Amino acid sequence: MKAWLSTFFSWAVRKKYVTVNPTREMKVKKPKKRNVYIPDEHFVAIRAAGGGRAYRLLDDRGLHQAA
């Protein structure tokens, strides 16, 4: 959210709608790290709710793996 607001206010400063970007001094806490495990049946339900789209796996270089 801060990134979006900062971009918006930077644009507003460039266009001279405002004189300063109020988000520049804003401090944001980093979110807490979480370890989340999604059980297989939940994962299957989430994929099924996605409209049946096909997904291809990527290798460690970000390239599609051969089927």
Higher pLDDT: 6 or 62? It is: 6
Range of the domain at 3: 1-27
Total number of domains constituting the chain: 1
19-49: burial string, b at 16+ Cβ within 10 Å, e else? eebebeeeeeeeeeeeeeeeeeeeeeeeeee
The residue with tokens 């996605």 is 50
Q: Tell me whether residue 8 is in a domain.
A: yes
The kind and range of the H/E element at 12 are: helix 2-14
- Per-residue model confidence as pLDDT tens digits over 10-66: 999 999 999 999 998 888 888 888 888 888 888 888 878 877 666 666 666 766 665
Q: Tell me whether residue 61 is in a domain.
A: no
Q: Tell me whether residue 53 is in a domain.
A: no
Q: Tell me whether residue 66 is in a domain.
A: no
Check pLDDT > 60 for residue 9: yes
Q: Tell me whether residue 43 is in a domain.
A: no
The answer to whether the pTM exceeds 0.85 is no
